[in-house]
Amino acid sequence: MEKTKNFFKKIKTFLDEHEDIRQLVFFTLFSFVCFLIEYVTFFVLKFALKNVNEPFEWFIFSYKTGGLGEFIAFLMSNVVAQAATFILNRKKTFNANNNIVYAASMYAIMVCGIIILNTWLGGVISDAVTEGTSIPQDFAAIIGKLVGSFLSFVISFLMSKFVIMRKSKKNDEENAEQAENAETTAEEAEGTVAEAVEEAGEAVAEVAASEEASGNEE
């Protein structure tokens, strides 16, 4: 048990000393969690919409074999997964303290691009694998989903680390200044309290001395 604790302690120390590696490890772990969320959502929607299988083609999207139901499943599973990724990684992975409006806006733009790419790529790969082969359509959809997930991971990590979820040095300086001011205020308050206690002690001593002098005169 002690060896296990020491092992994890060494890992934590190593990650604390190597910020880039820590971010990659955390991002990978959270991506795996979101990967599970995405695929559960995908298969639930795909099963629920299995009868909505008319061929669907719009804009750059083409779902000839899986149909409209598969298109909706790809789209919504991506939306849910990307939302979960943002929430988990902003504070836990990158400890971002930059403007939340900016971060959310940039992330939304990136996610839109990723969702369009994944949804388009899913249909292309699914149709390409299914047509002219004996591979089941469901398995072809999984292949398309896996390729899209990998691209999402790479794009999302690089964009999040270097553009979207940056740690602002200005905010760190402001926080440090606030902490310093708070510490100074606490020290001043402590000094004031000490002075008040000392003055009260002196007053009590004076009263006691006065009473003692009065008693002696009597």
Task: Dig out the tokens for 186 from the structure.
Answer: 């606490």
Q: How far apart are CA 2 and CA 5, in angstroms?
A: 5
| DSSP string for 146-193 | HHHHHHHHHHHHHHIIIIIS---HHHHHHHHHHHHHHHHHHHHHHHHH
- What's residue 58's pLDDT? 85
Task: Dig out the tokens for 46 from the structure.
Answer: 């795909």
- What's residue 174's pLDDT? 54
pLDDT average per 10 residues of sequence, the chain (218 residues): 76 83 90 89 90 86 85 89 87 86 91 85 83 79 84 88 80 53 60 65 62 57
- What's residue 188's pLDDT? 66
CB-based contact 141:77 (threshold 8 Å): no
- What's residue 137's pLDDT? 77
Q: How far apart are CA 115 and CA 131, in angstroms?
A: 24
| DSSP string for 109-147 | HHHHHHHHHHHHHHHHHHHHHHTTS---HHHHHHHHHHH
Domain boundaries, the chain: 2-167, 169-218
- What's residue 214's pLDDT? 60
- What's residue 37's pLDDT? 92
- What's residue 190's pLDDT? 64
